[in-house]
Chain A
Amino acid sequence: MSDATSEVLLRARGLRAAYSVDAGEVVAVDDVSLEVRKGEVLGVAGESGCGKSTLAAVLSLTARPPLFVQAGELEVEGRRLDLGPDTSPPRTWRGEVVSLLPQGAMNSLNPTVRIRDFVVDIVRAHQPKAKRDEAIDRARERLEQLDLPRCVLDCYPHQLSGGMKQRVVTVVSALLDPRLLIADEPTSALDVSSQRVLIEMLKEMLARDIIGSVIFVTHDLPVLNTIADRIAIMYAGQIAEVGATREVIDRPRHPYSAALLSSVLVPEPAIRRRRVTGIPGSPPSLLNPPSGCRFHPRCSLASETCRTEAPPRAGDERRYSRCWWASRHPDQTVEVTA
């Protein structure tokens, strides 16, 4: 979708965020840097507890205690923002520059008001002087553009199906034309048919430039295959591998990506003939992450170096794997059992 010449929409550098707990601090996002081009969809994938939702909170400026952003820098379409423990992000960024499509959108609507009153609340939270009718008109126009029934505005949330609620929340989160939409597991609670409809709607919103780019956080790799231009695989608070979707899926360069790919259950005849074992062990506690490469206790390719030294970045900014094996075996692919 985006070629090498298209402009960079988001540049995030050195993001670091931690949860402060009794036992110390849990660094859930540890030195993460990302780049997203205009019109591009970047997928972020990983297991539960790898820090992907925390990354979504940091990028959408919605981090709340006990989560604290410790360092980092965001640049969206030339506008820069330094993140740190003492800076509070400007109100004008939220919703207009970056916007979060939250996890479990089912519970994001107010159950006691109609959708149209909810829309008014949302718009007024950002533009206190907005007129009631203007806000409703804007939502109505948006629904028409995206071929959704206008009558949802008169409904209460419980009158809508799960898929429709998710679509409504998506429309509402993009009401102020955010340049970057951060979608946190938007499809996880939906069945496949509603998933497809939502993904087509997001693509339509990108095509109409209602949103500039999307960061799509999920644990579901097949879903990313249908929407993402590029994929970042996260493990234990860090990015393990980044690359174009087809590259990462067909030619993974990090053992963790390969392990994730081989535990995906897709309806293909081959899946019935083998025993899928998943990934041995469990994700590490981020309170005391393992030394060296954080994946080494579960990795089948781990060497002595992996246990003690943090792995180097093999590759350039848009296609890399943070792995000792990959740095010693340039251009080789980790085999996926399938």
Chain B
Amino acid sequence: MTASKEEVLDRQVDGRPAPLLEARHLTRVFGHGKTAVRAVDDVSFTLGRQEVVTIVGESGSGKSTLARMVLRLLDPTSGTIHLDGRDVTRLRGKALRTYWQEVQAVFQDPFSSFNQFFTVRRLLRRSLRLTGATTDEAGEALIAQALEHVGLTPAEVLDKWPHQLSGGQRQRVMIARALMLRPRLLVADEATSMLDASLRANILNVLTDARQAYDMTILFITHDIGQACYVSDRVLVMCQGKLVEQGPVDEVIFSPRHDYTRRLLADVPRLHAVS
């Protein structure tokens, strides 16, 4: 699972593709002196190609800080991030914009991620600037394709205002916006937490189907272990800024080794008694 340093840097060792993203000893400290908080503390992990990896942990465990560093919205205090073997930790300016074509995000709140004065069409058009689409037709085709992929009919939603869409539709537009850029990595930070259970499964299916269609890796962040269990290949468990356990779902969720993971699982409300 965890490849050594040399393996990761060379793209193909033993015929095995190197991971898409590798984070090494990532640390982020907020504040300084006595009040310093190590929100993320020496975290290392890799994301394989077309893999769905979920970070779980309680509020304040550093999940979102980690996501923001991967998205390069926040600079790490120390540590490095490699995408495709390339060091992206200190990218600036134009290089960073290119990075954002490759790494996209869907956030938690489908209500505040929209500019309420823009129609869906205008919102999606603005993102087109990051893509290579040069002509209007090519751009429109890209938008239509992405919307259809998330199960929306372009003709129905393009001219709508955000307040005319339901929460599930908004979140789908946000996913379509990210897909349009054909990112290699999609970071979904609690992307389904505010949706109904009946819709949640739907959006998760849209995400996991997209990884094959778009050759995409997904980093999913949630505190809901049920969702993590449904979508992921691998799970990383965070507690107080540290990565306490990681591995395939079957191992981490069904036979956890770390005390914290066990406690977390014991707190999960269930529908039926655990056998």
Hey, which chain A residues are within 8 Å of B136, CB to CB? none
Would you give the shortest CB distance from A193 to chain B, in whole angstroms? 5
Q: A265 contacts B229, CB within 8 Å?
A: yes
Q: B269 contacts A271, CB within 8 Å?
A: no
Partner of B197, one of A161, A191, A260, A267: A260
Q: A161 contacts B59, CB within 8 Å?
A: yes
In the complex, which residues 58-80 of chain B have their Cβ closer than 8 Å to any Cβ of chain A?
A: 58-60
Give Cα A266–Cα B197 distance, bound, in whole angstroms: 11
Would you give the shortest CB distance from A137 to chain B, in whole angstroms? 31
B199 and chain A: residue at smallest CB distance = A278
A50 and chain B: residue at smallest CB distance = B196
Hey, which chain B residues are within 8 Å of A47, CB to CB? 196, 198-199
Hey, which chain A residues are within 8 Å of B167, CB to CB? 48
Q: A225 contacts B269, CB within 8 Å?
A: yes
Q: B200 contacts A278, CB within 8 Å?
A: yes
Is the contact region of chain B dominated by helix, strand, or loop, or is it mixed?
A: helix
Q: A192 contacts B249, CB within 8 Å?
A: no
Q: A266 contacts B201, CB within 8 Å?
A: no
B227 and chain A: residue at smallest CB distance = A265
Give Cα A219–Cα B230 distance, bound, in whole angstroms: 19
Q: B205 contacts A222, CB within 8 Å?
A: no
Q: A191 contacts B271, CB within 8 Å?
A: no
Give Cα A221–Cα B198 distance, bound, in whole angstroms: 11
Hey, which chain B residues are within 8 Å of A279, CB to CB? 198
Given contacts A260-B197, A264-B197, A275-B205, contact A192 B269 (CB under 8 A): yes
At the interface, yes or no: A210 with Cβ under 8 Å from chain B? no
**Number of B residues whose C-beta is below 8 Å from A?**
36
At the interface, yes or no: A162 with Cβ under 8 Å from chain B? yes
Q: B201 contacts A191, CB within 8 Å?
A: no
Give Cα A311–Cα B201 distance, bound, in whole angstroms: 29
At the interface, yes or no: A328 with Cβ under 8 Å from chain B? no
Give Cα A3–Cα B205 distance, bound, in whole angstroms: 43
Q: A48 contacts B196, CB within 8 Å?
A: yes
In the complex, which residues 238-274 of chain A have their Cβ closer than 8 Å to any Cβ of chain B?
A: 249-250, 259-261, 263-269, 271-272
Q: A222 contacts B271, CB within 8 Å?
A: yes
Q: B228 contacts A195, CB within 8 Å?
A: no
Hey, which chain A residues are within 8 Å of B225, CB to CB? 192, 267
Would you give the shortest CB distance from B206 to chain A, in whole angstroms? 11
Given contacts A191-B58, A192-B223, A194-B58, contact A263 B201 (CB under 8 A): yes
Most chain A CB neighbours (cut-off 10 Å) among B225, B253, B269: B269
Partner of A162, one of B59, B196, B264: B59
At the interface, yes or no: B213 with Cβ under 8 Å from chain A? no
At the interface, yes or no: A288 with Cβ under 8 Å from chain B? no
At the interface, yes or no: B224 with Cβ under 8 Å from chain A? yes
Hey, which chain A residues are within 8 Å of B2, CB to CB? none
Hey, which chain A residues are within 8 Å of B226, CB to CB? 222, 264-267, 271
Q: A263 contacts B200, CB within 8 Å?
A: yes
Q: B205 contacts A277, CB within 8 Å?
A: yes
Hey, which chain A residues are within 8 Å of B253, CB to CB? 267
B223-255 vs A, CB cutoff 8 Å, 1 = contact: the mask equals 111111110000000000000000001100110
Would you give the shortest CB distance from A300 to chain B, in whole angstroms? 14
Give Cα A219–Cα B199 distance, bound, in whole angstroms: 12
Give Cα A131–Cα B198 distance, bound, in whole angstroms: 49
Given contacts A161-B60, A263-B198, A276-B201, contact A192 B227 (CB under 8 A): no
B59 and chain A: residue at smallest CB distance = A191
Given contacts A191-B58, A272-B229, contact A278 B269 (CB under 8 A): no
Given contacts A192-B58, A192-B225, A193-B58, contact A265 B267 (CB under 8 A): no
Q: B224 contacts A223, CB within 8 Å?
A: no
Hey, which chain A residues are within 8 Å of B202, CB to CB? 277-278
In the complex, which residues 167-205 of chain B have their Cβ closer than 8 Å to any Cβ of chain A?
A: 167-168, 196-202, 204-205
Give Cα A220–Cα B223 distance, bound, in whole angstroms: 14
Would you give the shortest CB distance from B111 to chain A, in whole angstroms? 12
In the complex, which residues 133-181 of chain B have their Cβ closer than 8 Å to any Cβ of chain A?
A: 166-168
A93-115 vs B, CB cutoff 8 Å, 1 = contact: the mask equals 00000000000000000000000
Hey, which chain A residues are within 8 Å of B249, CB to CB? 272
Give Cα A68–Cα B274 distance, bound, in whole angstroms: 44
Hey, which chain B residues are within 8 Å of A193, CB to CB? 58, 263-264, 267
Partner of A226, one of B197, B223, B229, B269: B269
Hey, which chain B residues are within 8 Å of A221, CB to CB? 197, 271
Give Cα A194–Cα B267 distance, bound, in whole angstroms: 9
Q: A192 contacts B59, CB within 8 Å?
A: no
Known: A220-B269, A222-B268. 4 other contacts (CB 8 A): A48-B196, A225-B269, A263-B198, A278-B201
Selected A-B contacts with CB under 8 Å, 21 pairs: A47-B199, A161-B59, A191-B223, A193-B267, A194-B59, A195-B267, A220-B197, A221-B271, A225-B269, A259-B198, A263-B197, A263-B198, A266-B229, A266-B270, A266-B271, A268-B270, A272-B229, A272-B230, A276-B201, A277-B202, A278-B199
Q: Which residues of A contact B (CB under 8 A)?
A: 47-48, 161-163, 190-196, 219-223, 225-226, 249-250, 259-261, 263-269, 271-272, 275-279, 282
Q: Which residues of B contact A (CB under 8 A)?
A: 58-60, 166-168, 196-202, 204-205, 223-230, 249-250, 253-254, 263-265, 267-272
Q: Which 10 A-B pairs have the closest CB atoms?
A: A276-B201, A265-B226, A222-B269, A191-B223, A267-B229, A191-B58, A279-B198, A278-B202, A192-B267, A278-B201
